[in-house]
Amino acid sequence: MSHLITDAATFAADAIDGFVAANPRYVRRVDGGVVRSTVIPRGRVALVVGGGSGHYPAFAGVVGPGLAAGAVCGNIFASPATGQVSRVARAVERGAGVLLSYGNYAGDVLQFGQAEERLRGEGYDVRTVVVTDDIASAPASERHRRRGIAGDLTVFKIAGAAAEAGLSLDEVERLARLANERTRSLGVAFSGCTLPGADAPLFTVEAGMMAVGLGIHGEPGLEDLPAPTARGLAELLVSRLLAELPDGVDQARGSRAVVLLNGLGTFKYEELFTVFGAVASELETAGVDVVDAVCGELVTSLDMSGVSLTLLWVTDELAELWVAPADSPAFRRSAIDAEIDDAAIEVADVATGAAGEVDDAEQQRAAASALDLLRTAHAAIIEGAEEFGRIDAVAGDGDHGIGMSRGVTGALAAGERVVAQGGGIVRLLAESGEAWSEHGGGTSGALWGMALASAGTSIAADRTESAAGAGAADAAPDARAVARAVAAALAGVQRLGKAEVGDKTLIDAFAPFAVELMSAVDRGETLAAAWSRAADAAQAAADATAQLEPALGRARTHARRSLGHPDAGAVSFARIVTAVGQSLQA
Amino acid sequence: MSHLITDAATFAADAIDGFVAANPRYVRRVDGGVVRSTVIPRGRVALVVGGGSGHYPAFAGVVGPGLAAGAVCGNIFASPATGQVSRVARAVERGAGVLLSYGNYAGDVLQFGQAEERLRGEGYDVRTVVVTDDIASAPASERHRRRGIAGDLTVFKIAGAAAEAGLSLDEVERLARLANERTRSLGVAFSGCTLPGADAPLFTVEAGMMAVGLGIHGEPGLEDLPAPTARGLAELLVSRLLAELPDGVDQARGSRAVVLLNGLGTFKYEELFTVFGAVASELETAGVDVVDAVCGELVTSLDMSGVSLTLLWVTDELAELWVAPADSPAFRRSAIDAEIDDAAIEVADVATGAAGEVDDAEQQRAAASALDLLRTAHAAIIEGAEEFGRIDAVAGDGDHGIGMSRGVTGALAAGERVVAQGGGIVRLLAESGEAWSEHGGGTSGALWGMALASAGTSIAADRTESAAGAGAADAAPDARAVARAVAAALAGVQRLGKAEVGDKTLIDAFAPFAVELMSAVDRGETLAAAWSRAADAAQAAADATAQLEPALGRARTHARRSLGHPDAGAVSFARIVTAVGQSLQA
């Protein structure tokens, strides 16, 4: 938070104004908060929610058909005032009364409570359902003292759907209260949040620790534990929520729940999804039937890092209201009717060769030799992976080591499969190349996959030629065939990657390697000697890439930072061919 | 990022599995990514999008009716492999061909490009539209070299709507290309992001600086500037995008745009909305007609902080496709038909008195005296605000200073208005109390508002009694009336706040103050002397709150940390009554 220069005095109001400007189809601004910009029919109960700002989508984000009629927006982390609540309520009352609903915090209770009195004094029928879902904030015996956190959403959704269905205020109140009775949440936090314009966080959580039950404004929780795995976190949250089932829910007799997994601000989506996967699996093990789920940011705390799990234990009535259509800026249940496709999907990879015909013995021997070299390359890459990553982190996204490791591991497995099946060198190179690309991903996966595949194609062509009688039987042609295959691999990589020598890519090492190998073989050197000489050239060229300006075309490069550092792709190339050269000489 | 213990090798796959578990109504898992779980009719063009993971909602979050048929999901920040692309495409192809669309990054171009070749070889009709919206990544003369960022969404939405409308692959491709031609984005970053399981950020941005045009993986941008205000950022982004209008767009002749303001991960909603408000105003000034807007997290970079602005300059055809219904986990255009309500909304505050009748001279004099004391309180609060905030930050959310400042400032303004209008003491206390609650918000606003209002009610009752002949005309009854008003204020605050002495709230200072004032007045001391004595008692009591355990009922308190620290509400109370006492003695 607070990346911009911010005036704390106007920040909350500016944020609401901007929110309204971005969402005119949903909301319009009134003094005190926002109300639906769409028609609310006469005779419909008005759900008015609210609280402090800083919790978006709570509260302005859930205004719209099927949800809240209006949201009262206080300052950052501060309850709105009585007058604000009253004005928002008056703006949306349509003759059927108002349900006020908000999280159970002292300031909100005071201000909304005074507003309720005031509105009643003006002749409106007004009820209140305070959300108390946070099991960490008070024992079960004192549920009325518990805070409201992400369970706000389940109560609001049920109440909003009941209002949208045209139910009376009595009914809307009853259902909202039932939803609150059946909603339980527990959250954990990993870091605090910083108020707009502030220099330091409002509170902190010790690094590497997780504060269980810490409130969304830093209120005290239950205990501090070391940060767990996704699975460990899911076990903790699910087990504690299952330990306190609402009246009428019997886990053993089949219980159904709506599941909300809420990110608090900087616990981002991908990590949140890993936790959700573990939560779903824990709930399945516990025999809970998940009626529906929402996994995202629902009730945040500015830039706080944390996650909360909410379970709404549904009755048939609640389940129906939960899935009813709703449309608000941040939470929607679609009215688009899309049928689930339960046909099996065929995604087998047509291009990946199944066990082909068995190749001849010479081809098999060549495949076995190539597999040995692939093992050498594998060992060299695994050993160098961390260093490749470090070099890449200077100029790129630091994943060159892990990408190369994944790629060569996949390639080696494919090669071993081919050899075990009696395949020859051409099939080995084709399938290892495919696997390298597949497992490595990214640019390096594509390029190394292409290199192997192109080498295979060259050898296949040589074999055809040789079968036609043009080849000789002595050792020299083998070395020349290898040199030609390397040249073909280089050509393939250049065709695919479109890089030239001097662009600060692996081509800078690959090109001198291929040239030196060819000329040494042409001079009659053995393959092992020629390869080692070429590897030395590759290494020198890789080192020299430190002096090069980065290639313009490499969109993922930190151009400015890579000056003075070698290119990771060239370094890993040189390392691999050097290791292979040593293996050939042994 | 990386709050949990994470296995980087399985993280991306775990995240996709969890995402699918949370969204079965939208997606199912296939080898290589996710595809729609809902029926895709035969003869419909399949839009396949994708790229590296870590950018949610890109890319799995935009799979669903009216959007993508499938998303290919690579590892974190690494392009998916050719085989993955091919398998996802095969799973969603329905006889009308496939449009591949993705951001322009080297790895993606290689892998998707190879997949296109492969799929064509298998007989599918496949086209590709690469997104190139980021104007910072290459000059306008080399648009084909530009990266794709949040403009992904405009291209995907247009292509998805075209496919959903049953258009041919030729048409879907043409429209996607047109959308890309007419989409421009520019982003800024304030901090880097950390890869799952990594100890340090992948890259950093200097504190207090803003990197203009920095890519979503840290690719180099245009320049570094000091972090601006929301308005300054909006001016920068809008002016640079308006400086490069696509062919066919003439700003002077009325241009229409869809506006996306995208948060990159930890640039949170409220701050994003303040920027959107400024962007909308800049665009209005520039004469751009905003057809529609999205303000939220659309293409993120893990926990990176930054924001990007995207403009899609629409034709009639594009505008229609943009607003067509779509339903995916992260992006929806609703099919719920809700009519915009253009009736004026009446939100005037019925309870706030308009200029009432002019009170008698004695009441006016009393009001003028009370206003003087309110000025004294105002000065004391403004002076102490920073300290109140510091004390509150130990035990609460640190907003006590700003809340009290806002409240008393509002109260003083209301009091001045009442006096200028010839209002008396009762009206002054009622309206100042209302204003304090309104402007201060939160608990302190409600309580101080109630204190003033209750005092006013007490004085009004005294006046009625006095008018009935029970009161005397000398000075002593005035002091007693004040003491009674203070007692009434205390009673009001206790009734509203439900705190008792010893709960570590302002009551701990308020109660001894009221008691001491009453007994000193009863002993015949002057109001000034009695008040000062009472203020001393309040100060001593406020200091003593440091020794108290925090009140259980105060949900917003960091109970554990407040031990050994005084209560901010009691401290500010003592400070105010002390200042008022000095003013009375002067």
List chain A domain ranges.
Answer: 8-333, 361-585
| pLDDT tens-place string over residues B132-151 | 999 999 999 999 999 999 99
pLDDT band, very low/low/confident/very high, at B557 (cuts 50, 70, 90): very low
pLDDT band, very low/low/confident/very high, at A389 (cuts 50, 70, 90): confident
- Cross-chain Cβ contact B399/A78 below 8 Å: yes
pLDDT score of B287: 93
The more confidently predicted of residues B559 and A567 is A567
Instruction: Find the CB nearest B340 among A38, A434, A557.
Output: A38
| pLDDT tens-place string over residues A289-326 | 999 999 999 999 999 999 999 999 999 999 999 999 99
pLDDT score of A333: 87
Taking each helix axis from N to C end, the angle separating B169-181 and B151-164, rounded to the nearest 10 degrees, works out to 160
Range 337-376 of A in CB contact (< 8 A) with B:
338-341, 345-352
Within an 8 Å CB–CB cutoff, is residue B558 touching chain A?
yes
Q: How far is B577 from chain A (nearest CA, A)?
A: 23
* C-alpha separations of B211 from A335, B77, B191, B259 in Å: 42, 20, 9, 22
**Residues of B tagged active-site:** 217
Within an 8 Å CB–CB cutoff, is residue A324 touching chain B?
no
Q: Which of A3, A55, A144, A217 is catalytic?
A: A217
pLDDT score of B201: 85
A351 has a pLDDT exceeding 70: no
Residue whose structure tokens are 């996967």 = A277
Within an 8 Å CB–CB cutoff, is residue A388 touching chain B?
no
B291 exposure class (CB count in 10 Å sphere: 0-12, 13-18, 19+): middle
pLDDT score of A179: 98
Distance, CA of B423 to CA of B413 (rounded, Å): 14
Q: What is the mean pLDDT of residues B489-495?
A: 92
Range 97-136 of B in CB contact (< 8 A) with A:
104-107, 110-111, 113-114, 118, 122
Residues of A in Cβ contact (< 8 Å) with B439:
81
| pLDDT tens-place string over residues A262-296 | 999 999 999 999 999 999 999 999 999 999 999 99
pLDDT score of B122: 92
| pLDDT tens-place string over residues B299-317 | 999 999 999 999 999 999 9
| pLDDT tens-place string over residues A406-428 | 999 999 999 999 999 999 998 99
Distance, CA of A331 to CA of B360 (rounded, Å): 56
Instruction: Copy the structure tokens of residue B363.
Output: 């009441």
Residue whose structure tokens are 């269905």 = A165
Within an 8 Å CB–CB cutoff, is residue A254 touching chain B?
no
pLDDT score of A254: 77
Q: DSSP labels for B418-434? A: HHHTT--HHHHHHHHHH
Instruction: Copy the structure tokens of residue A336.
Output: 């688009």
| pLDDT tens-place string over residues B246-290 | 988 887 677 999 999 999 999 999 999 999 999 999 999 999 999
Question: What sections of B167-315 are H helices per DSSP?
Answer: 169-181, 230-242, 269-285
pLDDT score of B45: 98
Q: How far is B564 from chain A (nearest CA, A)?
A: 16
pLDDT score of B7: 85
Architecture of domain A8-333 in CATH? Answer: 3-Layer(aba) Sandwich (3.40)
Kindly report the number of other CB atoms within 10 A of residue A246's CB atom. 17
Q: How far is B519 from chain A (nearest CA, A)?
A: 31
B438 has a pLDDT exceeding 50: yes
B27 has a pLDDT exceeding 80: yes
Q: DSSP labels for B85-137? A: HHHHHHHH--SS-EEEEEE--HHHHHHHHHHHHHHHHTT--EEEEEE--BTTS
SS3 B247: coil
8 A C-beta contact, residue A254 and residue A287: yes
- Cross-chain Cβ contact A220/B559 below 8 Å: yes
CATH assignment of A361-585, among 1.10.287.1120, 1.25.40.340, 1.20.1050.10, 3.40.190.10: 1.25.40.340
Residues of A in Cβ contact (< 8 Å) with B65:
336, 338
Distance, CA of B80 to CA of B91 (rounded, Å): 16
Within an 8 Å CB–CB cutoff, is residue A397 touching chain B?
yes
| pLDDT tens-place string over residues A133-165 | 999 999 999 999 999 999 999 999 999 999 999
- Cross-chain Cβ contact B338/A332 below 8 Å: no
3-class secondary structure per residue, A98-119: EEEEEECCHHHHHHHHHHHHHH
- Cross-chain Cβ contact A274/B14 below 8 Å: yes
- Cross-chain Cβ contact B30/A335 below 8 Å: no
Within an 8 Å CB–CB cutoff, is residue B437 touching chain A?
yes
Q: Using alpha carbons, select from A3, A311, A320 the residue that is nearest to residue A181.
A: A311
| pLDDT tens-place string over residues B60-112 | 999 999 999 999 999 889 899 999 999 999 999 999 999 999 999 988 998 99
Instruction: Copy the structure tokens of residue B172.
Output: 């879907």
pLDDT score of A353: 43
Q: What is the helix, strand, coil percentage profile of chain A, to 5?
A: 50, 15, 35
| Minimum mean pLDDT range among A48-57, A393-402, B170-179, B501-510 | A393-402
Within an 8 Å CB–CB cutoff, is residue A274 touching chain B?
yes
Instruction: Copy the structure tokens of residue A539.
Output: 């290494």
Amino acid at site B62: V
| pLDDT tens-place string over residues B386-428 | 899 888 877 777 788 888 999 999 999 999 999 999 999 989 9
B8-195+203-332 classified as CATH 3.40.50.620: no
Distance, CA of A305 to CA of B128 (rounded, Å): 38
Q: Using alpha carbons, select from A12, A450, A68, A428 the residue that is nearest to residue A197.
A: A12
A551 has a pLDDT exceeding 60: no
- Cross-chain Cβ contact B553/A65 below 8 Å: no
Kindly report the number of other CB atoms within 10 A of residue A336's CB atom. 17
A196 has a pLDDT exceeding 90: no
- Cross-chain Cβ contact B4/A82 below 8 Å: no
Within an 8 Å CB–CB cutoff, is residue A277 touching chain B?
yes
Q: How many CB pairs under 8 A join A and B?
A: 492
The more confidently predicted of residues B477 and A578 is A578
Q: How far is B368 from chain A (nearest CA, A)?
A: 26
A2 has a pLDDT exceeding 70: no
Q: How far is B261 from chain A (nearest CA, A)?
A: 9
Secondary structure letter of residue B246 according to DSSP: P
Q: Is the peptide bond before B57 cis (omega within 30 degrees of 0)?
A: yes
Instruction: Find the CB nearest A218 among B217, B271, B397.
Output: B397
pLDDT score of A202: 82
- Cross-chain Cβ contact A3/B271 below 8 Å: yes
| pLDDT tens-place string over residues B193-233 | 988 878 788 888 998 999 999 998 888 889 999 999 999 99
Within an 8 Å CB–CB cutoff, is residue B556 touching chain A?
yes
pLDDT score of A357: 59
B469 has a pLDDT exceeding 80: no
pLDDT score of B356: 54
B352 has a pLDDT exceeding 50: no
Residues of A in Cβ contact (< 8 Å) with B41:
none
Within an 8 Å CB–CB cutoff, is residue A17 touching chain B?
yes
Kindly report the number of other CB atoms within 10 A of residue B315's CB atom. 15
Within an 8 Å CB–CB cutoff, is residue B267 touching chain A?
yes
pLDDT score of B169: 98
Range 144-163 of B in CB contact (< 8 A) with A:
145, 147
Q: What is the mean pLDDT of residues A238-250?
A: 93
B556 has a pLDDT exceeding 60: no
Distance, CA of B136 to CA of B147 (rounded, Å): 9
Instruction: Copy the structure tokens of residue A436.
Output: 């390298």
Residues of B in Cβ contact (< 8 Å) with A411:
none
| Minimum mean pLDDT range among A547-561, B431-445, B478-492, B555-569 | A547-561
